[in-house]
Amino acid sequence: MLLIPCPWCGPRPEAEFVCAGEVLPPRPADPNAVGDAAWTDYLVMRRNVRGVHDERWWHVRGCGSWLTLRRDTATHRILANDSAPGGRE
Amino acid sequence: MSAAGPPMTARRYAVALRRLAPRARFEACGAPEDLIAALHAAGLPVPERHNSSIGSDGDVRIDWLGPRRFVISAPLEREEAVGGALEAVFAGFAAADVACVTDIVVTFEIAGPGAADVLAQGTPLDVGSASFAPASATGTELWGVGVVVERPIADPASFLVTVERSYAGYIEGWLDTAAGSGSDLKPGVMLACWRG
Amino acid sequence: MSPTARLAAGGEIDRARPLEFRFDGRQLIGFAGDTVASALIANGVHLTGRSFKLHRPRGIVGAGYEDSGALVHRVRPQPATNLLATVLPLEAGMELTSVNAWPSAAFDVGAMMQFLSALLPACFYYKTFMRPGWNWFEPAVRGLAGLGRLPDRDAWQPVTESRYGHCDALVAGGGPAGLAAALVAARAGARVILVDDGPFGGRLAGDGTVLDERPAARWVTGVVAELLATANVRMLPRSTVWGYHEHNYLTVVERAPRDAPDLDFRNWKIRARQVIIAAGAIERPIAFADNDRPGIMLASAVRTYVNHFAVLPGRKAIVFTNTDSGHAAAHDLAAAGASVTIVDARTEPGQGLLDAADARGIACHAGARVCKAYGSRRVSAVDVVGRSGEMMRLACDLVATSGGWNPAIHLATHNREARVSWSEALGGFLAEPVNGSFRLAGAANGHLGTAECLEEGARAGRAAVEAVGRIAPTINLPATRSEPTGIGPPVWAVAPRGKREKVFIDLSGDVTTADLGLAVREGFDSIELVKRYTTAGMGVDQGKTGNVNVIGIVGGLMNAAPAAIGTTTFRPPFVPVEFGAIAGARSGARLYPWRHTPLTEWHLAHGAAMAEAGLRWQRPRYYPQAGEGWLDAATREARTVRTSVGVYDGTPLGKFQLKGPGVPALLDLLYVNDFAALKPGRGKYGVMLTDDGLILDDGVTFRLDAARWLLHSSTGAADRVHQHLETILNVHRPDLDVSIIPVTSAFANATICGPRARDVLRALDPDFDVDGGPFPFMTVREGRIGGVPARVFRVSWTGELSYEINTAPRHAVAVWDRIMAAGARFGIAPIGSEANHILRVEAGYISTGHEVDGTSDVHDLGLGGMVSKTKTDFIGKRSMELRRRLDPVRPELVGLLPVDPACPVPEGAPITPRGAAADQEGFVSACVTSVALNRSIALGLLRSGRARIGETVHARVYGKIIPMQVVAPVFHDADRSRVKA
Amino acid sequence: MQRYSILSLARNALSYHEGWQRVWRSPPLKPAYDIVIVGAGGHGLSTAYHLAKEHALTDVAVIEKGWLGGGNTARNTHTIRANYLRDSSIRFHDASLRLYENMTRELNYNILFSQRSMVDLVQSSSKLRDLKRRSMAMALHGPTYDIVDIDEVRRLIPAMGDLKDARLPPLAGVVHPEAAMARHDAVAWSYARAADSRGVEIHQQTEVTGFLRGPDGRVAGVDTNRGTIRANKVALATAGNTSHVAALAGLTLPLVTRNLQAFVSEPIKPVIDVIANFPDVGLYVMQSDKGELVIGGGADPIPSYRQGCHFQTFEDTVASLLEIFPRFKSLKMLRQWGGAVEFAYDASPIISATPIGGLFVSTGWYGGFKAIPVGGLTYAHLLATGTPHPLAEAFLLDRFTGLRFLLEAGTVAQR
Ligand SMILES: Cc1cc2nc3c(=O)[nH]c(=O)nc-3n(C[C@H](O)[C@H](O)[C@H](O)COP(=O)(O)OP(=O)(O)OC[C@H]3O[C@@H](n4cnc5c(N)ncnc54)[C@H](O)[C@@H]3O)c2cc1C
Ligand SMILES: NC(=O)c1ccc[n+]([C@@H]2O[C@H](COP(=O)([O-])OP(=O)(O)OC[C@H]3O[C@@H](n4cnc5c(N)ncnc54)[C@H](O)[C@@H]3O)[C@@H](O)[C@H]2O)c1
Ligand SMILES: Cc1cc2nc3c(=O)[nH]c(=O)nc-3n(C[C@H](O)[C@H](O)[C@H](O)COP(=O)(O)O)c2cc1C
Ligand SMILES: [Zn+2]
C-alpha cells in the first residue's frame, strides 16, 4: 500500500485514493479544431513511462483533493507532489 | 429515530461499541474562502487546523474535512433551526452549497482501552494519539468503506465512526467481529441498519 | 523417565511439564518448551519423512525456519499438513505423522522412485512422456508429487485477525542486534515494534553466549522486561516479518498472540517510518555424497539442540566445517558428552582452535573433507579424505556441517530499495540500502561477533530515531567475550568420487550437483534459468540453506565469480504463511458489504428475494406469493403495474446535488443533449458518453430551483459518474464553478407506477395538485404528503404513469406503509427488479448490462434524436462523429418478435446470417414474456438493424435456430401517452 | 536437433547424462540480420520459430535483455482457454488451443500440456448473462463453454466449501473442457530449441537501447548494450516494456502497464483437478503437476512496472480464496510474485505494423500465454508477407485511429 502525500492531509494510505492515471495533455478546447489523428492520439495514447511520470490521484475517501504525484512506476518511489494544498488544481 | 442503541459486549478487546442517536447533519461544499465566509456569516467557528473539529454553542460541531468540505452537526431537535440558518446563509453564495444529510449516516462510538485495536483492523489510517490528536476528524477507509473517523475532544480515549447508512449493518457487524465478541452474522441478512 | 537423547540438565525447557505425543504411531514424550523437532531428536527419532521427488529418507537439518524440510502432518489437534517440525511448538496430545511417505517414513512405498533415479535427471519429463501423450502419464506423476495431504472436511480453520499498525521504527529480528536497536529506540521515546520469530535472543541461547559474565539469557530477560514495560513499544514474539513492501509497509504474522488467546494468528500490516533489519544469518551446509541422510545437520542447529533444548542429537559426532563456529559446535557437543571428531576443510584452521580441540579431547583433521555418508535411515559413517588424499571411514551417528554464514538479506531486498553485493570475506551476499528507508544490523549485515552485533544494533537504533527527529540516548551494552568468527574459503560441495553419487544441494527440491551440471551443460546459462530448470530454490525452504551453495557451484561450472552469477529474486513470504492468517476475519458477511435501503427489512418481512442491483446495493428481485416461482411472481407484479399500480424501492439510484454558475456549462459538456435551458422545476432525460464516444450512463437531471440541480445516475454507475464529474471539474474545466454534494442516501425513493398511480398519490394527501395539467411529466414537486416533507419526480421507467416519491429515510417505512394502504383498493403490489425488467423491455427502455454494455453510442440505441444539434462540444461528441463517419455500419437497437410467440430466446443469444454457425451480426440483449402482449418479445442489437425492420433474422442457440421478426424497439405505449397521461 | 525420447533418456543415463547438448546455441552476435525480434519471451520465440518454419526466414535474431523466457512467460499462471465473445477473438484463441494440442510432438519437447478443463463458478446473475452470451457465441466457432448446475460444479471442484454463508450465492457453473495448462517455462524453451535448430539466433543479455533509422525514417536496426545491429525489420515482442522500447523510436502506443500478481502454496497432494475460476470475485486456482496451488487474481489498480505485490489486491484475492475454500485456511503460501503486463486501450491484443516503417509490434498481452502459438504464427506471417494473417486482422493498430475498438464485454473497465 503506497503512502501518498496529500497536500491537504499529509501522508495517507493509498486505500483512501483513486488513481486517475497518468497526466495527459489537456483536452483540446475545441475538439473539432484538431484533426482526426490528433484527436484519437489524445484519447487513446499513453506515454506509459517506465520510470518517473506524473499521475493524478483523487483523495476520494479523505479530503476530496485532486493531486498530481511524480512517481517512479518501476519502484513506486515518490519524488514530488506538485499540487498546491486545497482547492482544485 | 430513537436514542442510542445498547452497548454491545466484547470479548477480545475491552471496548464498548454503541450506535449513537442521530444528529442533525449538514454537508457544506464550495470554494474554501466561500465556506469560511459562510461559517462566519452563520456565526459558527472554523476549526483551527485541517481535518479537525470544533464545538460551538448549543452543541453544534463543525468538522473541517477537506478543502471544499465542512460538516456541521447539531442535536436532532435543532435540525430545522440550524438547517434553516445555513440555507439562508448559503443562499447568498453562488457556488457554495449546503445539504441536509442527517439521514445519510450512522455514527458508532468505540470506547475503551481496546478502541484503537478494534479500529486498526479496518482502517489503514494511523489513529495513534500522536498522529491523530484529540479533536481530529478525517475521512478515511474502514473495511473498504469510506467513513469519517473522529477522536472527540470530550473523550479522547474513544472514537466516533460515521458511515453512510446503507453500510451501517456491515460496519456494525465488522466492529462486533473485530471486538472479538464472537457473534456470528448471517450473510445476506442485513443487520437492522434502519433500526432506531 | 526422560527420553534417551535428553541431557540431564540445562536448556530452556520446562522439565516439570512433560508432554506426551505420537509420531507415526509411536508414543513419545517431550517437555514444554520443546519444538516437535527437539522432542523427536530427544526420543532418538531422526527420520521424519521422505523427500519430494525421490522419496529418500530425510531428517531434521536445522533448528528453526531455515530447516529444509522436516515437515510433519498433524492429525490432532487441528488437522493440518506441511508443518515444519523445527518451529512447531510441542503440545500435549499431539498426533503427528510424516509427510510424503506411505504408509510411514520408515517404510515408504514411494521409495522405489530411488531405483529409477538414474533415469530421472533434472527435468527429465520434458524429454519424454510424449507418446502416446502426456495425459497418459500425468495422473501418476501428480499422485507422486506434492508433499502433505491437506486434511479434508475437518481441516483446521485457524481463527485469525488482520490489522494495521504504525510505528517510528520496526525492528525485524530480536537477537543481540535487534534488541540493542529496539532498546535505543524505545528509550528515545519512539514508537517501536520489535518482531522475532522465536522467543527473543536470537542465536544467543543456542550459542550459549555469555554476556556480562553470565548466560546471555539474563541480559535478554532484562532487556525484554524493560521493553515490555515501555508504553511506546510493541513486542511481537513468535512472529515473522514476512514481507517488506513499498513505502516501508511490512507484513508480520503473529502466532498465538498472548493478548488474545482466542486467536491463532494475527496478521499485521505495518507502516514504519524506519525499518531495521536484524534478521541474523543462516548457516550454510557443505554438501557431499548422500549428505541428505537423517542425522546430518547444520552445526548451528546442533548447538541449538544442545544448548537451548538440552538434547544431544548424536553421541558420536563428526563436525565438518570450514568455520570457527563449527569448532564451537564441536565443543558444545563434547561438553554434552558426545565423542567428536572435527573435519576442518581449512588447511590452517589456526593454532588456537587446534589447541582448544586438543584440550577437549576432540580429534581434528585439518585440510580434510567429508566426501560421502553412509546409512539409510540415519547416518552411520562417513568417508573422509585427508589432507594428503588418504581415505578414512569414520563411524558416527551425527554429522554437523558448517560452511559459513549467509546474512539473511531476503527481507531487505523485497522492497527494491537494496543493492546486493558479494562479500569475499563472508563468501556470501550482503545487501545495502539505496536510500535511507531501512538499515541492516548485526549478522544480517555480515557481522558475526556478538560485540559487533550489539554495537551495530545500537547504532542502527540511534540512526533510526534521529531520522524521525528524536534524540537518541547512549546505552550501556553488555560485555562480551571475543569468540573467533573465522570462515575459510567457501566449500560449496565436495566432489563425489563416482558419477552415480548424489550430492544434494537443495534438499527440499531434491536437487543434486549433477542436476546443476546438466542444466549448465544444456545451456541454461543464468542462475534464474538454472533455478527454473532444476527447481533449486523453489521448494518449501525457498533455498534458505542451499541457494548460495547453488550459486557458488553454478559459478564454478560457468567459470564465473558468484558476484557475476548473482542471486535469484527473494520474494514474500519470508517463511510460508497460512492463507488464513492473511485474510483475517474477512469472509461471508465480512467479505464485502451489502448496502441496504431503509426498506430492506420491509422487503424481507414481505418475502422478497434480494439480489445485488449494482455497487453492492441489495434490492428485491421479486416478492413470491405462496406457490410462485420467480417468473410467476415477476409476471404477476408486472401485470399489476400494467393494469393497476405497483410500487418499487428506487432508493439506490445515484443522486448528486449541484449548484453554481458553472452547472449549465457542466451539464452541457456532460450530456449529449441540451441542458442549459432547463427551467426550474423541470427535468430531462440525458445520456452521457465517455470521451471515446460510448455510453457511460443515462438518467434524469432536474433543476430543483434557480440555483440547484439534482443529477440522477443509475445505481451501479454512481461512483463512475461521480469520478467523471470530478474529473471534468478538476482536470478539464477547473474554470467551472460548481459544488457537488453526493446525496444518494439522503432520500428514500418509493416509486409508484401504473394507471392508478395518480389515485394512490392523491390518496396520500399531498399538499400540491397532482393532476396531469399542473403536474406534468418530467417535472418535480416539493411539498408534503400526509405531513411528511417529500419531493416527487414525475418520471417513468416502466412505460406507465409513475411518480418517484422521495422522502427522508426516517420516514421511508411509514410512507411505504401508507402507499400500500392507499393502494390496497387497487390491488397494489410491491414489485422487484425482475418485473421492472419486463416492464422496461416492453416499453423499449435500455438498461445497463443489456443494451448498455459499454460498446454502443446513442445513435445505436435509437436515441440519436436527443443529440444536441447546436452544441459544438460535449464529452464524446468528437469521437462518436468520427467513428460513425469512418464506419456507418453499426449495431442498432431493434425489437425482435420470435416467430413462435411462445419461444423465449436466451438473453445474449447471437444473431447470425440465417442462423448459420458464422460471425455474429447482432445479439439478443433482452427477452421477456410480455404481460402486455402475452408473448415472447425481445430487444437486440442488430447490424444496420433499423433499416431491416420487417426482415426475419435468426438467433443461433447451440445449433438451434430461432427465427425472429425485426420490429421497432417498443412494444407498449409507443406514443408514450400512458407515461404522459 | 538431438531427439528427446525415453530411449534417448535411457541411453544418456548410461553416460550419466553428460551427453546432452545445449538446448539452444550461443553464437556470436552478427552486425546485421534480416529480422530482429526484440524479446525472447513466448511470443518472440514462437514468432521466430514460425518465421523459420512457415516462411523459411532464418536470418533472424531474437534478442533479449535478460534471460530467455524471464518476462511474463516466467510469471504467468499458464492457463490456456478460448472463452471469448467476439468472433475474431474466439477464432484466434481457438486456433491457439489447437496449436498447443500438437506442440509437444511438433517440437519434440514435452510442454506438459494438460487439458484439464476450466470450471467457472458463477455468483451473480449479471455474470451468468455475460458468460452465457460468450458460451453461445463460442458455440458458433467450435470451442465449448457449457452452462452447468451448481451440483456439477461441486462434483468438478470437490474441494470447495459448502458456500452456505458465502457473501455471493453460488448460482451455476460454466465448463470449458478444452481449457488447459502447460508448463510455462517449457513453452519458451521448446520454441527456443526449435527455432535455434532451424537457424534462428538467440541472444540473451542484449538490451535494445535505441533505434537506427534510415534516411527515409524507416527503422534500420537497433542499438543495444552489445552494439548496433542492423535489420530490415524490427519486431517488438517486449510484453510489459513495449511503451518504453517504442518510445526509443519516438512511437507512442495505446498501452498502460500494470502489475499482475500470482502466488503459489506449498506443494500438497492433489486437491483440485480442474482450473477453477471465480469470475465474480476475480480469482482462479489450479494445481500444478508439482503439487503447488497456483493462484491468481486481478491486476493492480495503478500503472506499475514493479513486478511485485500490491497488498490490497493480493489480500482481496486471498480472502476470496478462503471464502470459497475454507479448508485452505491452514494451507501455507510459499511464494508471491508479479509481472508487468500491458493493457491496450480496448483491452484486446495488437499485432501490427506501426506508423514507423520497418517497426512492428505484438503487444497488449495481459493474458497472452494462451496466445503464444497463434501469436507467433500470425506475427510471423505479418513480418514475412507484410499483410496481416487472416486470424489476426482484428488486431491491427489502425483500429484505434478509427476508434473501432475490439471490446470484449466485461473488459471495458480498461478505458
Ligand atoms: C501473474 C500473471 C499471470 C498470468 N496468467 C496468464 C494465464 O493464465 N494465461 C495467459 O494466457 N496469460 C497469462 N498471463 C499473461 C502472459 O504471461 C503474457 O501475456 C505472455 O507471457 C506474454 O508473452 P511475451 O512473450 O509477450 O512476453 P514476455 O515473456 O514478457 O517476453 C518479453 C521479453 O521481452 C524482453 N524485453 C523487454 N524489453 C526489452 C529490450 N529493450 N530489449 C530486449 N529485450 C527486451 C523482456 O525481458 C522479456 O523477456 C499472465 C501474466 C502474469 C504476470
Ligand atoms: N561465531 C560465528 O561465526 C557467528 C555466526 C553467525 C552468528 N553469530 C552470532 O549470532 C548473533 C547474531 O546476532 P543478530 O542479532 O544479528 O542475529 P540473531 O541471529 O541472533 O537474531 C536474529 C533473529 O531474528 C529472527 N528473524 C529472522 N528473520 C526474521 C523475520 N523475518 N521476522 C522475525 N524474526 C526474524 C531470527 O529467528 C533470530 O531470532 C551474534 O550473537 C553472533 O555472534 C555468530
Ligand atoms: C505456474 C508457476 C508455478 C510456480 N511454482 C513455484 C514453486 O513451486 N516454487 C517457487 O519457489 N516458485 C514458483 N513459481 C514462481 C517463480 O519462482 C518466480 O517467482 C516467478 O517465475 C517470477 O520470477 P521472480 O520471482 O524471479 O521475479 C511459480 C511460477 C509460476 C508461473
Ligand atoms: Zn487529503
Q: Is the CB of C325 under 6 A from ligand 2?
A: yes
Q: Is the pLDDT of residue B8 over 80?
A: no
Nearest to D336 among C52, C572, C917 (CB): C572
For position B193, what pLDDT does the model report? Answer: 39
What is the C-alpha separation between C203 and C216, in angstroms, rounded? 10
Of D399, D414, D406, nearest in space to D93 by CA: D406
* Alpha carbon distances (Å) from C230 to C189, C193, C227, C796: 9, 11, 5, 66
For the cut 80, the answer to whether the pLDDT of residue B10 exceeds it is no
Q: Which residue's CA is the closest to the ligand 3 atom numbered 17?
A: C538
Rounded distance between C-alpha atoms, residue C931 and residue C940, angstroms? 19
What is the Cα–Cα distance from D243 to C568, expressed in whole angstroms? Answer: 26
Q: Which atom of ligand 1 is nearest to the CA of D369?
A: 11
Three cell numbers written together for C730 = 478538476
- Mean per-residue pLDDT, D257-261: 97
* Type of residue at C719: D
Rounded Cα gap, residues C14 and D345, in angstroms: 65
For residues C402 and A31, give the distance between their C-alpha atoms in angstroms, rounded to a whole number: 72
Cell numbers given for C535: 527447481
How many helices (H) and strands (E) in chain B?
4, 10
- Given a cut of 60, whether residue A87 has pLDDT beyond it is no
H/E run at residue B41 = helix B32-41
Q: How far apart are the first and last CA of chain C?
A: 96
pLDDT band at C263 (very low <50, low <70, confident <90, very high): very high
Q: Residue C100: what pLDDT?
A: 83
Chain D residues in contact with A46 (beta carbon < 8 A): 243, 252-256, 345
Instruction: State the SS3 of C909-977.
Output: CEEEHHHCCCCCCEEEEEEEECCCCCCEEEEEEEECHHHHCCCEEEEEECCEEEEEEEECCCCCCCCCC
Q: What is the mean pLDDT of chain B?
A: 88
Query: In angstroms, rounded to a whole number, what is the distance separating the alpha carbons of residues C47 and C229?
Result: 43
- State the pLDDT at residue C111: 76
Report the gap between the CA of B59 and the closest CA in chain C (Å): 22
Cβ separation of A40 and D252 shorter than 8 Å? Answer: no
Is the confidence at residue C292, as pLDDT, over 60?
yes
> How much is the ipTM here?
0.96
For residue D324, give the nearest of C520, C579, C333, C207 by alpha carbon: C579
* R_g of chain A, CA atoms, integer Å: 15
Task: Give how far the C-alpha of residue C837 lies from the chain's centroid of Cα atoms, to the nearest Å.
Answer: 38
Side chain identity, residue C286: I
Q: How far apart (Å, rounded) are the C-alpha atoms in residues C954 and C910? A: 8
Q: C716 near B6, Cβ under 8 Å?
A: no
Beta bridge partners of C58: C49
Which one has a higher pLDDT value, D117 or C101? D117
Max CA-CA distance within chain B? Answer: 52
d(CA D50, CA D37): 12
Nearest CA among C154, C149, C589 for reference residue D161: C154
Q: For residue range D131-190, list pLDDT tens digits in order.
A: 999 999 999 999 999 999 999 999 999 999 999 989 999 999 999 999 999 999 999 999
Measured at the alpha carbon of residue C569, what is the angle toward residues C565 and C573, in degrees to the nearest 5? 150
**Which residue, B95, D395, D124, D260, is CA-closest to C615?**
D124
Closest-CA residue of chain A to C885: A36
Geometric angle at alpha carbon D210, from D206 and D211, rounded to 5°: 110
C9 grid coordinates: 540438565
Separation of alpha carbons B123 and B162, rounded Å: 13
Are D293 and D286 in contact by the 8 Å Cβ rule? The answer is yes
Rg of chain C (C-alpha set): 38
Crossing angle, helix C324-335 and helix C351-360, to 10 degrees?
10
**Centroid of ligand 1 to alpha carbon of A15 (angstroms):** 28
Band of the pLDDT at A83, cuts 50, 70, 90?
Answer: low
Q: Is the CB of C443 under 6 A from ligand 2?
A: yes
Query: DSSP letter at D163?
Result: -
Beta bridge partners of A19: A57
A12: closest chain B residue by CA? B125
d(C-alpha B127, C-alpha B151), whole Å: 9
Q: What is the mean pLDDT of residues D107-126?
A: 96
Beta strands in C249-368 (DSSP E): 249-255, 265-277, 281-283, 296-298, 316-321, 339-344, 363-366
When scoring C191, C273, C741, C810 by the number of chain B Cβ atoms within 10 A, the one with the most, hence best to mutate, is C741
Q: 3-state DSSP call for residue C672? A: coil
Q: Give residue D412's pLDDT.
A: 38
Q: Give the cell for residue D47.
A: 514468432
Helix (H, G, I), strand (E, B) or coil at C370: strand
Q: Considering only C120-129, C831-840, C955-964, C965-974, which range has the smallest mean pLDDT? A: C120-129
> Of C918, C909, C920, C917, which is closest to residue C964 (Cα–Cα)?
C909
Q: What would the pLDDT profile of C112-138 be if each residue is shown by its tens digit?
A: 777 777 777 778 889 999 988 999 999
In this structure, which amino acid lies at residue C150? L
| Cβ atoms within 10 Å of B155's Cβ, excluding its own | 13
Helix (H, G, I), strand (E, B) or coil at D382: helix
C775-797 pLDDT, tens digit each: 999 999 999 999 999 999 999 99
Least confident segment among C66-75, C830-839, D204-213: C66-75
Q: Could you tell me how many residues make up chain A?
A: 89
**Bridging pattern class, strands B69-75 and B60-66:** antiparallel
- Give the Å distance between the CA of C271 and the centre of ligand 3: 27
Q: In the prediction, which pLDDT does A86 show?
A: 46
SS3 percent helix, strand, coil of chain D, rounded to 5, is: 35, 25, 40
Amino acid letter, C892 = E
**pLDDT tens track for C653-686:** 999 999 999 999 999 999 999 999 999 999 999 9
Split at pLDDT 50, 70, 90, the class of C107 is confident
Integer angstrom CA distances of residue B18 from B4, B149, B181, D314, D387: 7, 14, 14, 32, 70
Residue D347 has phi, psi (to 5 degrees) of: 65, 15
Q: What angle do CA C609, C615, C616 make, to 5 degrees?
A: 40
How many interface pairs between B and C have CB atoms less than 8 angstroms apart? Answer: 140
The amino acid present at C483, given as its one-letter code, is E
Which residues, 6 or more positions from D348, have their beta carbon under 8 angstroms from its beta carbon? D86, D89, D364, D394, D395, D405, D406, D407, D408
Residue B4 above 50 pLDDT? Answer: no
Give the position of cell 529409477. C116
Contact map slice: C 510-539 vs D, CB within 8 A: 514, 517-518, 521-526, 528-529, 532-533, 535, 538
Between the CA of C561 and the centroid of ligand 3 the distance, in Å, is: 25
Model confidence over D323-362: pLDDT tens digits? 999 999 999 999 999 999 999 999 999 999 999 999 999 9
User: How far is CA C797 from each of CA B65, C615, C981, D400, rounded to the nearest angstrom?
Assistant: 37, 20, 14, 35
User: Cα(C512)–Cα(C518) distance, rounded to whole angstroms?
Assistant: 10
- Angle, alpha carbons C489-C491-C495 (nearest 5°): 140
Angle in degrees, CA C116, C119, C124, rounded to 5: 120
Give whole-number Cα distances, C772 to C776, C794, C802, in Å: 5, 10, 11
Residue-by-residue DSSP string for chain B: --SPPPPBP-SSS--EEEEPPPEEEEEEES-HHHHHHHHHHTT----SSTTEEEEEGGGEEEEEEETTEEEEEEEGGGHHHHHHHHHHHHTT-SS-EEEE-GGGEEEEEEESTTHHHHHTTT--S---TTTS-TTBEEEEEETTEEEEEE--SS-TT-EEEEEEGGGHHHHHHHHHHHTT----PPTTS---TT--
pLDDT score of A89 more than 50: no
| Short-list C327, C321, C387, CA closest to C352 | C327
Per-residue model confidence as pLDDT tens digits over C211-241: 999 999 999 999 999 999 999 999 999 999 9
User: Does residue D184's CB lie within 6 angstroms of at least one atom of ligand 3?
Assistant: yes
Q: How confident is residue B187, by pLDDT bands cut at 50, 70 and 90?
A: very low
What does the DSSP assignment read for C192-246? EEEE-SSSTTTHHHHHT-EETTEEHHHHHHHHHHHHHH-TTEEEETTEEEEEEEG
Cα(D354)–Cα(C78) distance, integer angstroms: 60
Q: For residue D319, list chain C residues with Cβ-Cβ distance below 8 A.
A: 583-584, 586-587, 591
Please tell me the number of Cα atoms within 13 Å of C735 on its side-chain side.
2
Mean pLDDT within D201-217: 97
Q: How far apart are CA C105 and CA A15, in angstroms?
A: 48
Least confident of C35-49, C174-188, C543-557, D398-412: D398-412
